[in-house]
Amino acid sequence: MIARFPERSLVIRSGSDTRYFVLKTWHQLSVIGVAALVVIWSTVASIGFSWNYDARLAVESELAMTVAENQAFIAQLETDQKNAYELRQAYNAEIRKNEEWASRFNAIRNASDVVLEQSSPETIIAFIPWFQSQLDTRIREVEQTNADLTQLVLDMSDSVAEISGRQAPESLDAVGSWLSNVAADLANAYETQTEAMEVLHDTMTQTLSKGFATIDGTPLSDPEFAGFSPSFGTGGPLREASGGEHIFEKFQDRSDRLMILSQDLQALQSLLACAPLSPPVDYYNLTSKFGNRKDPFTKKPDWHEGVDLGAWPGTRVRATAPGVVTFAGRKGGYGRFVLIDHGCGIETAYGHLKKIHVKKGDSLDHRDILGEVGSTGRSTGPHVHYEVRVQGKPVDPYQFIEAGRYVFKEQELTVADAK
């Protein structure tokens, strides 16, 4: 080895400088060894690299395939998760829909149970044919009812036609327009009658006003006694019709008001028929008024429950209103005495009569003779003691006599006008 690798000198000259390096044998062997190791390592590494390259390529290819498969699996997994979520949502929607259908089915069952008054099947499979059968039955009943209603409408149209004088419609389709025409005719008739009732209202109001004026100032004008209040006014239209008031409402309003007026008029006529509005004698002298006076015998203050009407002895005494004799005969200081019940809570009394021409229970008309003027009983001279009692309480008879003068004066004027 020493012979092959003797010491060698390495001269390095740089300009004028020269350097000598001695390469000993072991240095050379070390360099050769290192170089040999490098060569061997390079060779082994190259051979190993050559051997492992194909394996690496295969591994890389397999790894790429694995990555691709994993990515595809992940994508499929994501798709499956999305599909599973959608399926879950669809499933929940179906569940809610089924619950809603179940709720509706129960509601339909409950409603059908109430309407049909029967217990319906609990399952849909059994309920559907049962409900169809019930529905068919109801449809047939409704169709029959419609047919009956159609016939009823036509029959009613015939009845309306007889009342209105119009020819009845031939079909149900024509009933609507036909009834509109009839309604228009009725509206015109109601309008005419309403106007006529307004005129009648004015006339009745005037009649009531005059009639009530007759008893005004007498106890009979008290609403509690008369049974009505003079709220009818003095005439004129009932009231202005509002723009939205229907003619039938106007007619009903006028009819109601006329009904009230007619009731008041009947009450007033009944009251006037009972009222003693004429004096018991045609010619008289008022010798003693109603109320406080000096007693003609004792000369002391006294209460006089009637009026004394002086007249010639034997003068005819007449009933001042229609009535029934409830007493006829002697009665204490009244002498010969007659009491007449005129109804309506009104009585008249006639005292000091010379003769009595009636008896108890006789029915008298107005102006019928009941006796003659005298001076029987507690009397200072020939006269008739005349009383008017309302509800058993004496009132001033001269109020009625004065009211009667107005009535009979009006009657005389009417007769004179007629002639």
Place of tokens 């590494």: 45
Sign of CA dihedral 40, 41, 42, 45: positive
Q: Residue 79 carries which side chain, given as an amino acid letter?
A: T
Phi, psi of 181 (to 5 degrees): -65, -45
CA distance 397 to 277: 9
Contact 359, 338 (CB under 8 A): no
Token pair of 186, please? 């009725």
**Which residues, 6+ apart, have CB-to-CB distance to 401 below 8 Å?**
277, 278, 279
DSSP string, 41-106: HHHHHHHHHHHHHHHHHHHHHHHHHHHHHHHHHHHHHHHHHHHHHHHHHHHHHHHHHHHHHHHHHH
Phi, psi of 66 (to 5 degrees): -65, -45
pLDDT computed for residue 50 by the predictor: 72
pLDDT computed for residue 266 by the predictor: 79
pLDDT computed for residue 411 by the predictor: 43
Cα distances (angstroms) measured from residue 398 to each of 163, 206, 278, 288? 56, 26, 10, 11
Contact 205, 258 (CB under 8 A): no
Angle at 405 between CA 355 and CA 279, to 5 degrees: 10
Place of tokens 């003779």: 369
Contact 167, 161 (CB under 8 A): yes
pLDDT computed for residue 384 by the predictor: 96
The H or E element that residue 330 is part of is: strand 323-330
CA distance 32 to 26: 9
pLDDT computed for residue 256 by the predictor: 80
Contact 164, 185 (CB under 8 A): yes
pTM higher than 0.85: no
pLDDT computed for residue 1 by the predictor: 63
Based on C-alpha coordinates, what's the Rg of the chain?
A: 66
Contact 273, 233 (CB under 8 A): no
Which residues of the chain register pLDDT less than 50? 233-242, 409-419
Angle at 132 between CA 128 and CA 136, to 5 degrees: 175
pLDDT computed for residue 410 by the predictor: 47
DSSP string, 120-184: PPSSHHHHHHHHHHHHHHHHHHHHHHHHHHHHHHHHHHHHHHHHH-PPPPSSGGGHHHHHHHHHH
CA distance 187 to 5: 153
Contact 338, 354 (CB under 8 A): no
List pLDDT tens digits, range 58-98. Answer: 878 888 888 888 888 888 888 888 888 888 888 888 888 88
Contact 224, 277 (CB under 8 A): no
